[in-house]
Structure 1
Amino acid sequence: MQVVALLLTAALFGGMVFFSFGFAPVLFKLLGLEQTRPILRGTFPYYYLVVIGVAGAAALTAMSASLLGAALLGAICGSTIYARQVLMPRINAATDAGDTAGFKRLHGASVVLQLVQIAACAYALVLIT
């Protein structure tokens, strides 16, 4: 089970890092804001579902290797449910309403959450090994 947990956690970490520091920035660079915004808006719900599923599976399989690692992965799963179901709709609503200040605040919160999740995933990866 430890090998499965390790592979799932590594895939989660790699996917989160790639999406945050590879996919999204490249889209902005190549397409610009007006073309990138709808692509990301359409992509995020699926991205969050993948993170929820992989983090949940990783948490369950990691319990035999590291309870703290499993708890961190469970927290990633839970906080991503919050990001998908609560934070993302509020960010979209602020964007649609032209509420620049609200968008900046909510988007900033989502970025901080994502960075904390990436750090927690990296630490869980170390704990599982």
Structure 2
Amino acid sequence: MLTTAAVLLTAIVFGGMVLYSFGFAAFLFKTLPAEDAGSILREAFPVFYVWCIAVALIAAVPLWFVDPLSAWLTITVALTTVPLRQLLMPAINSASDNKNRRRFNLLHGLSVLAALAQMAVLGYVLARIAT
């Protein structure tokens, strides 16, 4: 039962990150004017990050009993999300507000790399515990 809970909770975090990054954001930019899509994402990202932190920490509880390394990896995903939310996201918003395209592209690229790394870690955790 703990393994099932660990797999499902980890899959929820992983799936949520994938859907938000590749589905929701892309959908907004495809269906809305760029300014409106950006405004909605600016409001949604802080909530998304808190959700990722919370669900990853919840997933770490059953993971601890199933595979402690996977629990630590999932906790690491949660902890690395904090500076993304508190530091990187405001810097991206500031670069956007100041029309500093070069800085925005650099910081946004960093956020994309961080998200991909987090998804890779969660994918690895899923592979470890689901087999």
1:65 partnered with 2:66: yes
What TM-score do the two structures reach when normalised by structure 2? 0.94
Equivalent residue, structure 1, for 2:75: 74
1:7 partnered with 2:36: no
Output the aligned Cα RMSD: 1.0
Distance in 2, Cα, partners of 1:30 & 1:98: 23
1:44 partnered with 2:37: no
In percent, how many aligned pairs have the same letter? 43
Do 1:51 and 1:77's aligned partners in 2 also have CA atoms closer than 8 Å? yes
Distance in 2, Cα, partners of 1:86 & 1:59: 24
Structure 2, unpaired ranges of 5+: none
CA drift of 1:103 comes to: 0.6
Q: In the TM superposition, what whole-angstrom CA distance separates every residue of 1:44-68 from its partner, at most 9, and x where no partner exists? A: 0000000000011112220111122
Any residues of structure 2 matched to 1:44-123 within 5 Å, and which? 44-123=45-124
Do 1:68 and 1:127's aligned partners in 2 also have CA atoms closer than 8 Å? no
Distance in 2, Cα, partners of 1:63 & 1:126: 16
Distance in 1, Cα, partners of 2:94 & 2:110: 15
SS of equivalent to 1:59: helix
Do 1:10 and 1:125's aligned partners in 2 also have CA atoms closer than 8 Å? yes
Distance in 1, Cα, partners of 2:33 & 2:113: 23
Any residues of structure 2 matched to 1:13-32 within 5 Å, and which? 13-32=14-33
Distance in 1, Cα, partners of 2:82 & 2:61: 17
Structure 1, unpaired ranges of 5+: none
Distance in 2, Cα, partners of 1:71 & 1:122: 14
- AA in 2 matched with 1:12: V
- AA in 2 matched with 1:8: L
What TM-score do the two structures reach when normalised by structure 1? 0.95
Q: In the TM superposition, what whole-angstrom CA distance separates every residue of 1:85-125 from its partner, at most 9, and x where no partner exists? A: 11101111111111111111110000000001111111111
CA drift of 1:41 comes to: 0.2
